Every structure is written in C-alpha cells, then in structure tokens.
C-alpha cells in the first residue's frame, strides 16, 4: 500500500467479501475467519438481519446532529443498560469510549489519579494511550497525560499500595486481550472493587474486546458479579460499523451535562441500526446459551488436539476469546495457518489469539482445530523465539 501511513504490519491478502465465518480474498482464495476483524464481526460477516436493518436505515436518513432528539439512540441505550440504572454516551470507537470514561471519572470525582495495569490496552488517543500501561505504545510521543499510575495485574498487594483517597478511577480489562489473553483473577477483581469503594474511586471496566457475548455473557464483568461504575463498549457493538459506547451509573450524570463532552458522529443512525440488531440478537437467552455450548466444545477439542503438543505452553481465556501460548514465534504460526486457510491473530510475541464469530458452526470449529493441530505440530524448526 503506497498511499497510506504504514502504521500496521499488514498481511498480504485483501479480503473483499465475507459471509458468516468465511472470507474471500481478491484472488478468490477462501479463509475461515477466526479473527472476526479483531472481535468485531461477532455475528459473522454480512448477517442478513443486520444487512437489512442497515439498508432500511440507509434509505430513510443517515445522520442527524446530536443537537436533536434521537429515539433510536434512546432505544439502543436501553438495550445496552437493560434493567440497570445507567446512562450511555455514544461515540465511534473503543479509544473514544475509554476517553469519555476517563473524563467522566475525573470530572465527577474532582480527582486526577487513575490506576491502570501492566500489559493493559485501552486505545491510542493521548488519554487512552496514557491509560495503556505498555512502554512500546508510548514510545516517541513525548509527554503523556499526567496522573496515571501503573500497577502489576492480578497483584493485590501492589494495588493496595497504589490506591488512595486521591484516586479518581481504576480502569481494567477482565481479560487483557492485546496484552496476551491474560484473565483477571476473580478474587482479585472483587477486592479491587471493594478497595475502589473504600477510596471513593470509580471502577471502570473496559469491555471493548470482552463485551457483547464474546466471553459467553453479555458483559464479561457479569461472570464475576462485579458492579462497575462505568464500562465501555465498541468493536462488536456495530458488527463492523464504527460505534462505541461509554456506560455509566446514572448518579454520574451531572458531570456530563450539556457542553461537557460530545462527538459529531457519535450515535450515528446507520451504526445504531446495526447495534440495535446486534443487541436484540445477543440478548436472546438461547443465543448466549448456544455461544457458551459452542465455546465449551471448541475449548475441549483444542485441549484434546493441541494442549499436549510440545509447542503449546498453555490454553487460556473465556468463551470465544482464547489464547494459546506457544514456545515459538506466534507470527510465523499465523502465517502458516493462513496458508492452510485459517485466519487467527497474535497477542504479543508468543500468544495466538483466536476470536471466531459467535455464530461459528461446529464443522468450522472442527476444521479450525485440525488446522491448528497440524500447524502447531509442524512449526518447530526455524521458528524458535529469538
Ligand atoms: C480492550 C480494548 N480497549 C480499547 C481498544 C481500542 O479500541 P479502538 O481500536 O476501537 O479505538 C481496544 C482495541 O483493540 C481494546 O482491545
């Protein structure tokens, strides 16, 4: 690509069509997409109900300013919050949702200090990049937003030392996705929440990658029984159309009054038409039951076929957010898997990250597990870490 900033290391295929789990490159080559566009196309590529909803909205009106009422925004917000006493701010991406969360937390508490965790990933704008505790993401960009403190993940002693009455908020992922598919410990999370309450700090959960059915429940904090003050969504919310949401308890509303924050495109009607369909689909109890059953099945076959292989150090994650830690370069494995017709991701140098659409079929899971087994068995020579 000659005319685009080289901010990504791009894999040399151009995907021009997709249906369900299958994507087709411009060469005509088909692949099983176990990336879902990085946890975005959770209901597969071009699902009929979402395509129809978008087309229907396209023929009516595309965009109206946030200076006007929007029944569609209110309806989608209601689908997001369910029976809980929460409010939604719509934006266009995960980084923007997190930016809104950080701003709301500071404004509501009147405090500045924000605690985040090593290996976290929260986005690329100055605020969300400053929240991201990874030196490689900060490199070269000069001074970060002041007030962030980074603490080791899953370490309660370190957290206890860090949190104090000056802390505005604590932001975390239930499973660190980009950081290597690292699940938070449930007991640690509950204690973090308790210490937040004691210190008068808000608990912000970044559900951008884990949310919307990806880990088997609508939001992954529900597995643990947490009650975050704020959580953030993006990725799967529009199944590929750009939309993000920051969801906070209603008691925070006075800090986000008129003029406090905004977005021209946030709550765009086309993106919302998609989000409405996504939410109505995943909120059907039978849908999530099936996701959980399929995810359990996939985990079992991965354990059976791959866990014993010499290259495999561990298999971890929850639902359809799965990491396989390997003793060799994960990027080389990804390239070999692609040659066999399977697209998956990495999360750091030695973790394969597997994110199939939640609508994946049993036959597709079997096929993917067989390809993974074959490639993991054969990728020993020439791919050692180094
Ligand atoms: C947990 C988490 N938060 C935030 C982001 C940033 O989202 P976006 O790329 O939509 O800005 C990501 C993206 O990978 C993410 O995984």
139 is in an annotated binding site: no
At 371, list the tokens.
């390809």
Given ligand 1 and candidates 98, 116, 123, 180, which is best to mutate, with the most ligand atoms within 8 Å of its CB?
123
Given ligand 1 and candidates 172, 208, 353, which is best to mutate, with the most ligand atoms within 8 Å of its CB?
208
244: CA distance to ligand 1 center in Å? 10
* DSSP helix/strand/coil, 102: helix
CB 193 within 8 A of CB 102: no
100: CA distance to ligand 1 center in Å? 13
Atom of ligand 1 nearest to the CA of 173: 1
R_g over Cα of the chain: 21
36: CA distance to ligand 1 center in Å? 14
Given ligand 1 and candidates 210, 235, 353, which is best to mutate, with the most ligand atoms within 8 Å of its CB?
235
Q: For residues 205 and 211, give the distance between their C-alpha atoms in angstroms, rounded to a whole number.
A: 10
Q: What is the pLDDT of residue 225?
A: 96
Cα 240 to chain centroid distance, Å, stands at 13
Q: For residues 21 and 362, give the distance between their C-alpha atoms in angstroms, rounded to a whole number.
A: 11
309: CA distance to ligand 1 center in Å? 32
Model pTM score = 0.97
SS3 helix, strand, coil % of the chain, rounded to 5? 40, 20, 40
Helix (H) or strand (E) segment spanning residue 6: none
Indicate if the alpha-carbon torsion angle 236, 237, 240, 244 is positive or negative: negative
208 is in an annotated binding site: yes
Q: Which residues line ligand 1 (CB under 6 A)?
A: 93-95, 98, 121-123, 173, 177-178, 206, 208-209, 234
379: CA distance to ligand 1 center in Å? 30
Q: Return the residue whose CA atom lies nearest to atom 8 of ligand 1.
A: 94
Q: What is the pLDDT of residue 381?
A: 42
Q: For residues 294 and 286, give the distance between their C-alpha atoms in angstroms, rounded to a whole number.
A: 12
379 is in an annotated binding site: no
How confident is the prediction along the chain (386 residues), in pLDDT tens digits per residue?
999 999 999 999 999 999 999 999 999 999 999 999 999 999 999 999 999 999 999 999 999 999 999 999 999 999 999 999 999 999 999 999 999 999 999 999 999 999 999 999 999 999 999 999 999 999 999 999 999 999 999 999 999 999 999 999 999 999 999 999 999 999 999 999 999 999 999 999 999 999 999 999 999 999 999 999 999 999 999 999 999 999 999 999 999 999 999 999 999 999 999 999 999 999 998 999 999 999 999 999 999 999 999 999 999 999 999 999 999 999 999 999 999 999 999 999 999 999 999 999 999 999 999 999 999 998 754 444 44
Q: For residues 268 and 75, give the distance between their C-alpha atoms in angstroms, rounded to a whole number.
A: 13
Q: Return the residue whose CA atom lies nearest to atom 4 of ligand 1.
A: 122
Q: What is the pLDDT of residue 210?
A: 98
For residue 323, give Cα distances in angstroms to 43, 171, 318, 328: 20, 22, 9, 14
* DSSP helix/strand/coil, 82: coil
216 is in an annotated binding site: no
């Amino acid at each position: 690509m000659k005319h685009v900033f080289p901010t990504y290391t791009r894999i040399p295929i151009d995907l021009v069509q997709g249906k369900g789990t299958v994507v087709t490159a411009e060469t005509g080559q088909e692949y099983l997409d176990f990336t879902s566009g990085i946890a975005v196309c959770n209901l597969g590529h071009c699902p009929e109900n979402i395509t129809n909803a978008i087309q229907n909205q396209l023929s009516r009106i595309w965009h109206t300013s946030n200076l006007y009422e929007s029944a569609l925004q209110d309806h989608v917000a209601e689908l997001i919050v369910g029976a809980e006493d929460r409010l939604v701010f719509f934006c266009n991406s995960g980084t923007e949702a997190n930016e809104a969360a950080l701003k709301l937390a500071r404004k509501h508490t009147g405090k500045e200090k924000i605690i985040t965790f090593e290996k976290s990933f929260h986005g690329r704008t100055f605020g969300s990049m400053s929240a991201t505790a990874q030196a490689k993401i900060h490199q070269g960009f000069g001074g970060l937003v002041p007030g962030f403190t980074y603490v080791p993940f899953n370490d309660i002693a370190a957290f206890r030392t860090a949190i104090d009455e000056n802390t505005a908020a604590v932001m975390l992922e239930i499973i660190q996705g980009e950081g290597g598919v690292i699940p938070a410990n449930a007991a640690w999370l509950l204690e973090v929440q308790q210490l937040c309450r004691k210190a008068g700090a808000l608990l912000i959960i970044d559900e951008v990658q884990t949310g919307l059915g990806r880990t088997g429940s609508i939001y992954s904090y529900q597995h643990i029984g947490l009650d975050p003050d704020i959580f953030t969504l993006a990725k799967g919310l529009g199944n590929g159309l750009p939309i993000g949401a920051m969801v906070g308890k209603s008691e925070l509303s006075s800090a986000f009054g008129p003029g406090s924050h905004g977005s021209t495109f946030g709550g765009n009607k086309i993106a919302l038409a998609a989000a409405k369909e996504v939410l109505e689909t995943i909120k059907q109890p039978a849908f999530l039951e099936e996701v959980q059953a399929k995810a359990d099945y996939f985990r079992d076959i991965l354990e059976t076929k791959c866990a014993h292989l010499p290259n495999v150090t561990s298999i971890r994650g929850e639902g359809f957010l799965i990491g396989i830690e390997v003793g060799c370069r994960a990027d080389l494995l990804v390239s070999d898997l692609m040659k066999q017709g399977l697209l998956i991701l990495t999360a750091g140098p030695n973790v394969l990250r597997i994110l199939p659409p939640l609508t994946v079929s049993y036959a597709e899971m079997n096929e993917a597990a067989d390809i993974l087994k074959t490639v993991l068995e054969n990728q020993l020579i020439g791919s050692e870490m180094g």
